[in-house]
Structure 1
Amino acid sequence: MKGEFHPPNLDQEFFPGEYYGDIIFNEFANGWFALDRFMLIRLLMAALLVVIFAVAMRNPKLVPSGLQNVVEYALDFVRVHIAEDILGKKEGRRFLPVIATIFFAVLFMNIPAIIPGMNVSPNSRIGMPIALAALGYVTMIYAGAKRYGFGKFIKSSVVIPNIPPALHILVVPIEFFSTFIMRPVTLALRLMANFLAGHLILVLLFSATNFFVWQMNGWTLMGGVTQLVAVLFTVYECIIIFLQAYIFALLVAVYIELSLNADAH
């Protein structure tokens, strides 16, 4: 069996500043509107999300069916099992638009990881996770500031009552760092790292299959093993696609709940 092995090269996707061959509009407005494959996938999935909800809800029926039924079931899942479970019915419904937006945005941006021809989640580059984490971060601060006032909210979040005054010198910076820096940072990094790692593992598995089959003819059977593992890992990625959307939205809801009850430190 003859063929040619092509080693994987991630520079073109994860370090686009070093490669401009797949970027369009790079010369327009000094590159402010340049679009590479990641951005095109992001725009495509965002458009698909908007179209699905627009079509499902363009003529809603009292007894839903078809696409409307699927969309309403998905929204009810977010409302009941994330928003209301964490925030209660009143506050859950109040913050449902933000939580649902984050859940479906993460979910749809994760899906391309297993779509042939795309093969990568836009969330595996840090830009989209930062934007989603920023939305959750702003909502968290808004929730607390709206209830207590901005100054009292910050104080309630970082000052632990009934501890020796001298310990505040140590505790306040730690609480501030944990609450207002680590929360959005860990949200963004967790999402990016999961799909970056998943993408790298799939690249290595399929590249190993390519290598064993086309270059190491005597190792063709091993190529079958790596192909099987790659397929199984793809199935596992299907679970991670949903799980990471659920975890991201759930943590945003938890952070909002903590802001709403900042005085109960």
Structure 2
Amino acid sequence: MTPFALPAADDGAFTPPTLEDMHLPAIFPWGAAEGFSKQMLLVLLSVVLISWFFLAAARKGQLVPGKLQFLGESMYGFVRNSIGKDIIGGRDFMKFVPLLFALFFFILLNNIYGAVPFFQLPTMSHVGGAYFLAGLVYVTWIGVGLKKYGPRFIKLTVVPSGVPWFILPIVVPIEIISNFIVRPMTHSLRLFATMLAGHLVVALAGSGIAYLISQENILLQGTSLLVLVGAAAMYMLEALIMVLQAYVFTLLTAIYIQGALHADAH
């Protein structure tokens, strides 16, 4: 059973979808833990699919690329140039392209799962995956700053240049909270919340259609067509957001790294 065709309650009332309907039980449960879930399976599958595609695209490496090589090079070039080079800068960006490349396509594919029949689950609608990626980025940009500036990086991050000394007791705590607490939280929750909310809306519309069609009232059955139109529009909007969130997450990663590399210019 999918989250788009939920049954009505025993009394015939509409039963809205819940998080339990979207987050399916473990495929291989063990002990008191959740076990090996559908989300884990899709994450592993995404790694296999991404690796297979880009290895296949780069296998021949012809001077005049074929369709698959051209597509792979175009996708790589988008991340390399539009995110890495444009944000981080021409001198330092290449060492971070592998990270940006992996983040973008990993998030993109795991988001797109939510628009694919049978899969119907954007794995980033589970907050754990978003937390892990945001934590990885958090450690990365702080590590970049410490490697370049040493312990002075912390001061450069929390003490803005040009601020009068008597305002620092107010500004420094705000900068600490903003950079080291709020930044990773918003980085993760932005991705998680949009994926969860979008999928819930589409699931709600789908279950509403199933409920209206099951009614004996012809007027209610006809209303299901209007809901279907709205659900199709929301479905397309969700697909667009899936792509945008992968881009936004990767773009912010590049911005954080750029800020760490040039902390003394702030």
Q: TM-score, normalised by structure 1?
A: 0.89
Q: Label 1:53 to 1:8 Cα distance change in 2 as closer, same or farther (>3 A).
A: farther
**Aligned Cα root-mean-square deviation (Å):** 1.9
Question: Equivalences for 1:101-112 in 2 at 5 Å?
Answer: 101-112=102-113
8 Å Cα contact 1:13-1:37 kept in structure 2: no
Question: Equivalences for 1:157-236 in 2 at 5 Å?
Answer: 157-215=157-215, 217-218=217-218, 219-236=220-237
1: CA distance, partners of 2:172 / 2:210: 54
Is residue 20 of structure 2 the alignment partner of residue 12 of structure 1?
A: yes
Q: CA deviation at 1:167?
A: 2.3
2: CA distance, partners of 1:103 / 1:12: 28
2: CA distance, partners of 1:187 / 1:79: 21
Q: CA deviation at 1:154?
A: 0.6
Instruction: Give, as a single letter, the amino acid of the residue that structure 1 aligns with 2:98.
Output: P
SS at match of 2:265: coil
SS at match of 1:35: coil
2: CA distance, partners of 1:58 / 1:196: 37
1:159-200 superposed Cα distances (whole Å, 9 cap, x missing partner): 123433332222111111111111111110000000100011
| Structure 2 equivalent of residue 23 of structure 1 | 26
Q: CA deviation at 1:9?
A: 4.1
1:94-123 superposed Cα distances (whole Å, 9 cap, x missing partner): 211111111111101111111111212000
Q: Label 1:23 to 1:136 Cα distance change in 2 as closer, same or farther (>3 A).
A: same
8 Å Cα contact 1:99-1:252 kept in structure 2: yes
Q: TM-score, normalised by structure 2?
A: 0.88
Identity of aligned residues (%): 37
Q: Label 1:72 to 1:98 Cα distance change in 2 as closer, same or farther (>3 A).
A: same
| Structure 2 equivalent of residue 96 of structure 1 | 97
1: CA distance, partners of 2:244 / 2:19: 28
SS at match of 1:90: coil
> Which runs of 5 or more structure 1 residues have no equivalent in the other structure?
17-21
| Structure 2 equivalent of residue 48 of structure 1 | 49
SS at match of 2:90: helix
Aligned residues: 254
Q: CA deviation at 1:24?
A: 3.0
2: CA distance, partners of 1:113 / 1:15: 12
Deviates more, 1:191-200 or 1:215-224: 215-224
Instruction: Give, as a single letter, the amino acid of the residue that structure 2 aligns with 1:112.
Output: Y
1:10-40 superposed Cα distances (whole Å, 9 cap, x missing partner): 3435667xxxxx313323xx46682122222
2: CA distance, partners of 1:217 / 1:41: 40
Q: Label 1:76 to 1:194 Cα distance change in 2 as closer, same or farther (>3 A).
A: same
1: CA distance, partners of 2:60 / 2:138: 34
8 Å Cα contact 1:79-1:96 kept in structure 2: yes
> Which runs of 5 or more structure 2 residues have no equivalent in the other structure?
1-6, 10-14
1:219-257 superposed Cα distances (whole Å, 9 cap, x missing partner): 111100111111111111221121111111111111111
1: CA distance, partners of 2:32 / 2:47: 22
2: CA distance, partners of 1:131 / 1:68: 31
